[in-house]
C-alpha cells in the first residue's frame, strides 16, 4: 500500500481536538489557529493518537494509509505513560490505530493486516480488532438477537477465541485488579471490551437484548466494559450527568478511571457547564477531595485544549489552593486525551 504522509502542526492539533466526537454527545467544531510546526516527536505522536481516535469515533472518511503506518511503524521511544494503561507512546499509538481500524472495518485493510498477522498476533489490540473487522464486514448492523449472536460467533472465530475461554478467564482471574495494575491488558479483556462496544451499537440500533446475549461472560467485572455498557444504556441527554455522578463518587483515581475521564471529555463543549457546576459543589464541601477534582479538571483540559483552556486558566487562580494548583499543573502539561484505546 502506498503510504500517505501529512505534516502535523498546532493548527492540526486544534482542529482534531475541536471536532472529536463520541458517546452520542453533540459538539460544535472549534476554530483553530494558523498551523505552526511542532518539533517535539513525542508531541507529534500524541497528536497522531488523537487523530486516530477521531477517525474511529467519527467514522468519517478515513486516511487508512495513515492508520496502517501508525500501527506498524515505531514511534519515538519514551518511558511508560499512563493513558488507560501504562506503556510507551509507541504502543499507545498502535492501540489507538488498531482500535480505529476495527471501528472503521474497511475491507481495504485486510490484506495489510493479514501480512502482519504472524508478527503481531500476540498484540491484544491487533488480535481483537483484526477480528472485529471480519465480524463487522459480515454483520455491519445486526437487526435482531439472532444476527447479533452470529456476529459474536464470527468475531470469536476470527479472534481464535471461544465463549468458554473468555467466560473462564473472567470467572477465574482477578480482572478488576489486573485492569488497575496498569499493564497493557491481555487479549481476553480487550476482546470482551470490543464485544461490549459492538453490543452497545446493536442496542442503539434496536437490538434490545444485545447485552443479555452477552451474559455468558461476566463483562461487568472489567470496569471499562461496565462503563461502556452503562453509557450505552443511558439516554444521550443524560450521559454528561451520569458520567459526572460516577466521577464525584471516586475516592481514589485508578487506571480504569482514565476511561471515565475520556468518556466525559468526548462529550465536548456541552459538558463544560456541568463540570464547572460540579466543581462549585465540590468547593462547598468541608474537604475538597483529590480524585473528583483531578478527574474533572483533566476532562476540562482535554475538552478546551483547542480553545486554549480558558476555564482551566480561570481555575488556576481559584481561591481554593488545591484546585488552583491542580489546574496550574494541567496547564503546564499538554493533556490531549486520557485513554488511547477508548
pLDDT of residue 258: 98
Instruction: Give the 3-state secondary structure of the chain.
Output: CCCCCCCCEHHHHHHHHHHCCCCCCCCCCCCCCCCCECCCHHHHHHHHHHHHHHHHHHCCCCCHHHHHHHHHCCCCCCCCEECCCEECHHHHHHHHHHHHHHHHCCHHHHHHHHHHHHHHCCCHHHHHHHHHHHHHHHCCCCCCHHHHHHHHHHHHHHHCCCHHHHHHHHHHCCHHHHHHHCCCCCHHHHHHHHHHHHHHHHHHCCCCCHHHHCCCCCHHHCHHHHHHHHHHHCCHHHHHHHHHHHHHCCCCCCCCHHHHHHHHHCCHHHHHHHHHHHHHHHHCCCCCCHHHHHHHHHHHHHHCHHHCCHHHHHHCCCCCHHHHHHHHHHHHCCCCCCCCCC
pLDDT of residue 18: 45
Q: Which three cell numbers stand for residue 332?
A: 503546564
> In the predicted model, is pLDDT for residue 32 greater than 60?
no
Q: Which three cell numbers stand for residue 13?
A: 492539533
> In the predicted model, is pLDDT for residue 254 greater than 80?
yes
pLDDT of residue 25: 59
> In the predicted model, is pLDDT for residue 28 greater than 60?
no
Residue 58 to residue 26: CA distance in whole angstroms: 12
pLDDT of residue 276: 98
Q: Which three cell numbers stand for residue 24?
A: 452520542
Q: Which residues contact 263 (CB under 8 A, 6 or more apart)?
A: 22, 23, 227, 231, 243, 342
Do residues 148 and 202 make contact, with C-beta atoms less than 8 angstroms apart? Answer: yes
pLDDT of residue 157: 99
Residue 216 to residue 197: CA distance in whole angstroms: 16
Strands 81-82 and 86-87, bridge-based pairing: antiparallel
Do residues 10 and 55 make contact, with C-beta atoms less than 8 angstroms apart? Answer: no
Residue 30 to residue 188: CA distance in whole angstroms: 38
Burial class (CB in 10 A: 0-12, 13-18, 19+), 331: middle
Burial class (CB in 10 A: 0-12, 13-18, 19+), 123: buried
Q: Tell me the per-residue pLDDT of 34-87, one tens digit each, with 9 for 90 and over.
A: 334 456 788 889 999 999 999 999 876 678 888 998 877 767 667 899 999 999
Helix axes 257-265, 290-303, angle to 10 degrees: 40
pLDDT of residue 38: 53
Q: Where are the domains of the chain?
A: 235-341
Q: CA torsion angle for 281, 282, 285, 287 (degrees, to 10)? A: -170
Buried b (16+ CB within 10 A) or exposed e, 263-294: bbbbbbbebbebbeebbeebeeeeebeebbbb
> In the predicted model, is pLDDT for residue 27 greater than 50?
no
Q: What angle do CA 306, 93, 165 make, to 5 degrees?
A: 125
Q: Tell me the per-residue pLDDT of 301-342, one tens digit each, with 9 for 90 and over.
A: 999 988 889 999 999 999 999 999 999 999 998 799 999 999
Q: Which three cell numbers stand for residue 298?
A: 483533566
pLDDT of residue 69: 87
- pTM of the model as a whole: 0.89
Amino acid at each position: 500500500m502506498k503510504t500517505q504522509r501529512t505534516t502535523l502542526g498546532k493548527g492540526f492539533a486544534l482542529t482534531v481536538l475541536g471536532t472529536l466526537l463520541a458517546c452520542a454527545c453533540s459538539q460544535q467544531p472549534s476554530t483553530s489557529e494558523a498551523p505552526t510546526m511542532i518539533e517535539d516527536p513525542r508531541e507529534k505522536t500524541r497528536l497522531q493518537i488523537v487523530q486516530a481516535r477521531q477517525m474511529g469515533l467519527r467514522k468519517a472518511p478515513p486516511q487508512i494509509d495513515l492508520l496502517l503506518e501508525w500501527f506498524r511503524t515505531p514511534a519515538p521511544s519514551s518511558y511508560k505513560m499512563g493513558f488507560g494503561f501504562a506503556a510507551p507512546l509507541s504502543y499507545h499509538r498502535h492501540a489507538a490505530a488498531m482500535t480505529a481500524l476495527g471501528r472503521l472495518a474497511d475491507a481495504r485493510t485486510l490484506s495489510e493486516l493479514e501480512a502482519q498477522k504472524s508478527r503481531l498476533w500476540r498484540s491484544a489490540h491487533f488480535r481483537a480488532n483484526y477480528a472485529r473487522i471480519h465480524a463487522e464486514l459480515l454483520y455491519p448492523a445486526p437487526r435482531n438477537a439472532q444476527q447479533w449472536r452470529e456476529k459474536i460467533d464470527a468475531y470469536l472465530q476470527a479472534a481464535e477465541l471461544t465463549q468458554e475461554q473468555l467466560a473462564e478467564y473472567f470467572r477465574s482471574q482477578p480482572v478488576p485488579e489486573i485492569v488497575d495494575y496498569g499493564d497493557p491488558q491481555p487479549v481476553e479483556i480487550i476482546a470482551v471490551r470490543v464485544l461490549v462496544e459492538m453490543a452497545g451499537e446493536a442496542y442503539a440500533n434496536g437490538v434490545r437484548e444485545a447485552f443479555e446475549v452477552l451474559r455468558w461472560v461476566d463483562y461487568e467485572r472489567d470496569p471499562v466494559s461496565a462503563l461502556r455498557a452503562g453509557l450505552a444504556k443511558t439516554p444521550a441527554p443524560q450521559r454528561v450527568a451520569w458520567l459526572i455522578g460516577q466521577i464525584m463518587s471516586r475516592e481514589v483515581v485508578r487506571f480504569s478511571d482514565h476511561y471515565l475521564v475520556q468518556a466525559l471529555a468526548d462529550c465536548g463543549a456541552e459538558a463544560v457547564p456541568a463540570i464547572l457546576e460540579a466543581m462549585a459543589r465540590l468547593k462547598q464541601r468541608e474537604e475538597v477531595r483529590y480524585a473528583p477534582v483531578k478527574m474533572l479538571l483533566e476532562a476540562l483540559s482535554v475538552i478546551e485544549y483547542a480553545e486554549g483552556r480558558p476555564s482551566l486558566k480561570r481555575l488556576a487562580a481559584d481561591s481554593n489552593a488545591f484546585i488552583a494548583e491542580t489546574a496550574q499543573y494541567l496547564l503546564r502539561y499538554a493533556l490531549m486525551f486520557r485513554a488511547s484505546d477508548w
